[in-house]
Amino acid sequence: MAYDLSFAKEVYKTSEVGYWIKMCMQCGVCAGSCPLGPHWEHSPRQLFQLVRAGKMEEVLKSDSMWMCTSCYNCIVRCPRGLPITHIVHGLARLAVEKGMADPKQPTRRFAVEVFWDNITSTGRVGEAGLTMKLYFIDGIGPGIQRGLEMKNQALGMLKTKRLNPIPFRSKIKGFAGFKAMLDKAFELEAKKESNA
């Protein structure tokens, strides 16, 4: 049944700033502001109305919230002041928590399988390693193919010094502190979840 608010209330409560969804007036500015707008299955506005309509599956199984590049255009322009970027990230996270996010969703794979390890291992992004890992995520064949497709871009970036070709980088200064921070964050999150 639509507009049963149990899902909406769950979202309002659990996902970071989800309660802001209540305030959306369905004007559509967010969709028009988003540089990736046309690639979303549901625009943020639509996601919000779906949440309010109680359409849990349609929301959490959609790949819309994985499209966000955190450019913050929508937040700046939203006439109701909704922190859209954060809400959308919250929805993505809820989808993962509920096991409803598609494990093959490329953004998600990049985040979970590539980016996280890359950045936490040294404390900084190793661009070459990151790229390599992303290209070869599905095996050697597709990796080579992707690499060739992007060859010109890569060379161009190299030439203009926008890409560091050295795959391995040293850890940041004070890496231990960084690690401690991460551990603490994990601990807090776990506590929050067990409370919820």
Rounded to a whole number of angstroms, the minimum distance from the CB of residue 28 to other proteins is 4
What DSSP letter does each residue of the chain carry, written as one string?
A: -TT-THHHHHHHHHSTTGGGGGG-----HHHHH-TTGGG-SS-HHHHHHHHHTT-HHHHHTSSGGGG-----HHHHH-TT---HHHHHHHHHHHHHHTT-S-TT-HHHHIIIIIIHHHHHHHSS--HHHHHHHHHTTT-HHHHHHHHHHTHHHHHHHHHTT-S---S--PPPTTHHHHHHHHHHHHHHHHHHHHH-
To other proteins, the closest distance from the beta carbon of 71 in angstroms equals 13
Q: Binding other proteins by CB under 8 A: which of 10, 14, 31, 147? A: 31
Q: In this chain, which of 7, 15, 47, 50 binds other proteins, going by CB under 8 A? A: 50
Pick one of 8, 47, 94, 101: the residue that binds other proteins (CB under 8 A). 8
In terms of CB distance, is 74 or 114 closer to other proteins?
74
Site string for other proteins, 58-97 (x = CB under 8 A): ------------------xx-xxx----------------
Q: Kindly state the tokens that stand for 52.
A: 């309010």
Tell whether residue 109 is a contact of other proteins (CB under 8 A).
no
Q: Which of 11, 18, 29, 68 binds other proteins (CB under 8 A)?
A: 29
Q: Which stretch binds other proteins (CB under 8 A): 40-48, 87-95, 154-162, 180-188?
A: 40-48
Rounded distance, CA 180 to CA 191, Å?
16
Q: How far is the CB of 149 from other proteins (least distance, A)?
A: 27
Binding residues for other proteins, rule: CB under 8 A, are 1-5, 8-9, 22-33, 37-38, 42-43, 45-46, 49-50, 52-53, 55, 76-77, 79-81
